[in-house]
Each structure stands twice: as structure tokens, then as C-alpha cells.
Amino acid sequence: MAESIDRFQAGQKTRREVLGDAHVDRATRAMTEFDRPFQEFITESAWGSVWNRPGLSRRERSLITIALLAAAGHDEEVAMHVRATANTGASPEDIREALLHVAVYAGVPAANSAFKIVKEALAGMEKSAVSGEER
């Protein structure tokens, strides 16, 4: 049980570092008793275990995540992880290269959709940076 609690706490820390406090705070406020076990699961497993493994940088994990989400057509998640690149160090050029891989290995329609979403997310990030808003 202590290992699970440690992984959850590590996951919370990593999730906040990658996605930002504002996003995690919104997700926490929106959580209900119904989805609490799911939120705890993803915090512990994805953020506490996978994102904290050695061997890949956060930039690399970020690009892999964007490519996988784009290939699977998870548009909302693509946008969220594009916004997270402000914290992971992946550049727009890095994202473009990942999406070119998506086009070749997962299909042009998936990449085409992702390019549109990424452009919108990057434009929103630029607008927020200019106005000083938090994501």
C-alpha cells in the first residue's frame, strides 16, 4: 500500500510539472466519486510509473504521447499534450516531425487532423503567452 501511495504522490508531482497546476486543479475540481478511482489510476500508473521511468526525457515522452494520441484520433488529448510541451521542452518543430511519422505509420487522415489541432493549440499558447494568461 505504501508503494501505491508513493507512486500516486510521485504521479501528482509529475502530472503537475507536465500539465501545469491549472489543468490538474481543474481536473481535481471536476472529479466525482464516480470517476475518482479512474483519476487515481491514471495518476498512479501513467504519471507515477510510466512518466517517471528512467531512459526517456520528458521531451521524448511528450513527443511519443502526442504521436500516439494523434494516431489514435484522441484530439482533445493531443491539444492538452501540445500545451504541456511548454513544460516538457518539445518544440513546435519537434511536434511537426512526430506528426510526419504519424502520417507515414498511422495514416495521412490522422496526421491531417492532428496538424489542425496542433496549430490551434500552438496559436492559443502564443496568445496566452502574449496576454500573460495561465493555460
CA torsion sign for 5, 9, 10, 15 is: positive
Q: Are 81 and 69 in contact (CB under 8 A)?
A: yes
CA torsion sign for 106, 100, 121, 84 is: positive
What single-letter DSSP state applies at residue 114?
H
The model's pLDDT over 58-97, given as tens digits with 9 standing for 90+, comes to 999 999 999 999 999 999 999 999 999 999 999 999 999 9
Query: Closest by alpha carbon to 62, among 108, 14, 105?
Result: 14
- CATH 1.20.1290.10 in the chain is located at 57-135
pLDDT of residue 129: 85
Q: Output the nine-digit C-alpha cell for 95.
A: 511536434
Q: How many CB atoms lie within 10 A of CB 1?
A: 5
Query: 57-135 is classed in which CATH architecture?
Result: Up-down Bundle (1.20)
pLDDT averages per 10-residue partition of the chain, 135 residues: 83 96 95 96 96 97 98 96 97 98 98 98 92 66
pLDDT of residue 77: 96
Where does the chain have alpha helices with state H? 2-19, 21-30, 36-42, 58-72, 75-88, 92-106, 108-131
How buried is 134 (Cβ within 10 angstroms: 0-12 exposed, 13-18 middle, 19+ buried)?
exposed
